[in-house]
Structure formats: C-alpha cells, structure tokens
Amino acid sequence: MTNPSRLFLFAGGNHGKWHVQSMNTIVGDPLPIVTHLEVYSESESVPETDLLWTLRGITSNERYVNQEEKKELTSKQEGLGRPQSTDAALIPIRKKPEWWALTQQERREIFEESSKHIQIGMKALPAIARRLHHCRDLSSSEPFDFLTWFEFTPEETALFDQLLADLRATPEWDFVNREIDIRLMRS
C-alpha cells in the first residue's frame, strides 16, 4: 500500500516534543495529567514505556462543508509545522449518542446552519492551523469521537481562546459530553 499516512497517535507521558502547559477538563472524565506529549504518524514506532495514555485518530473526507466553504477553507488555511507556531493545543471531544442518531442533514443543520461552526473556524484562519482526526470508526471503544490538533503563535492565544469560547456557546456543543483542552508549547 502506498497510501499517505492518515492515522496519528498522540502519546502523553514524561517526554516528547511538546511540553504540556495545562490540561483543562471542560466536560466529562479527565485524562491523567502528563508533562509531555508526542505526535506519531503510523509509520513511526511508538516507545512502549513511560506513556500514561495514547489517543489515536484518522484524517478523513470532509463531512459537513459545501463546495463554496471548501474553496474558502482551502484558500485560507495554512499547514501544520510553521516554525513560528510554537504553541499547540490538542482537544479530544466526544459527542452524545443523540448526535450520532441524527441524520446527516440534521447534523449539518446544527453544525453550520444553526451553530456556524465553519464560519467561526474561518475567522481564525490562517492564524490557527488545524488538523481534525476521527476516532469513532477506528473501533467500537475509542474514548473520544474526534481529536483536533491546533498550532499557532503565542501572540494568537487570545484569538484561539475566543474561537473555543464561540464554539462552546453553540447549540452543537450541547451534544458534547466529554472535552479536554490540552495546551502545549514546543520544547
């Protein structure tokens, strides 16, 4: 197989490129506190020692954006790994079973028509780079549905905080029953 790597693993422990600044449980069960985090793609070997937890997710096709939104996102967003983006955040989220029992149309209506998720996210571009990982269909027992990874400069922290506050105030977030906000700084 020559597929590009879509599967990523986030390993929390006492070493890693990213130094944990805070782990704030917004709703639901917390994760064990760790001091460091490392991000692995599936082609990389993960050390089995000194890890308190690992979370995994897979990048996938778009689920909610329309063609116009996709074009605007693609033209505005920048990739991960910008040298000046020394700050990062990992935000694992789980949604209630009620969310998953909705139809695609109903989810899209809550996601964008009523919650403006895409428009809220667009306001933070290109400052906040982002990669979304899906967990739900990796197995039947993943602890989260999504892992979102963000990278930005220290100066853009306030913008990032505003982005999260805006999203958390939406009707979509009524369906979130577990969310942990992990802030990181490149070591």
Instruction: Give the binding site for its own copies (CB under 8 A).
Output: 1, 3-7, 42, 58, 60-67, 70, 100-106, 108, 134, 136-141
> Which is closer to its own copies, CB of 137 or CB of 155?
137
Contact 135, 85 (CB under 8 A): no
> Which is closer to its own copies, CB of 82 or CB of 96?
96
Q: How far apart (Å, rounded) are the C-alpha atoms in residues 124 and 104?
A: 26
CB of 177 to its own copies, least distance (A): 14
Q: How far apart (Å, rounded) are the C-alpha atoms in residues 129 and 140?
A: 29
CB of 92 to its own copies, least distance (A): 16
CB of 30 to its own copies, least distance (A): 17
- 12: helix, coil or strand? strand
> Which is closer to its own copies, CB of 36 or CB of 94?
94
CB of 84 to its own copies, least distance (A): 30
Q: Report the chain's C-alpha Rg in angstroms.
A: 16
> Which is closer to its own copies, CB of 6 or CB of 123?
6
Residues in the chain: 187
What is the DSSP code (8-state) at residue 127? T
CB of 132 to its own copies, least distance (A): 12
> Which is closer to its own copies, CB of 16 or CB of 57?
57
Q: How far apart (Å, rounded) are the C-alpha atoms in residues 182 and 11?
A: 12
Alpha helices (H) in the chain, listed in sequence order: 67-76, 97-101, 104-108, 117-122, 157-168
